[in-house]
A and B are shown apart, each in its own frame.
Chain A
Amino acid sequence: MNSGRNKLYLIILVACFIGYIWLYFNTSVLGPKNNTLNVCLIKHFTNIPCPSCGSTRSVISLVKGNFVQAFKINPLGYIITIIMFLAPLWIIFDFLTKRQTLFSFYKKLELYVQRPRYAVPLIFLVIFNWIWNIAKGL
Chain B
Amino acid sequence: MISTIQLHDPTTSLIVSILAGSLGIDRFIIGDTGLGVGKLLTCGGLGVWAIIDWFMIQGATKEKNMQKLQQFLY
Contacts and interface: CB of A to CB of B under 8 A. Distances in A.
B26 to A, nearest CB: 13
B43 A39 contact: yes
Interface stretch (A63-71, A88-96, A108-116): A108-116
Contacts of A51: 23, 40
A90 to B, nearest CB: 14
At the interface, is chain B mostly helix, strand, loop or mixed? helix
A53 B33 CA distance: 20
Interface residues of B, number: 20
B52 to A, nearest CB: 12
Interface in A1-43: 8, 11, 15, 18-19, 22, 39-42
B34 A40 contact: no
Interface of A: 8, 11, 15, 18-19, 22, 39-42, 44, 50-53, 55, 76, 79-80, 83, 106, 109-110, 113-114, 126
Interface of B: 21-23, 31, 33-35, 37-38, 40-48, 50-51
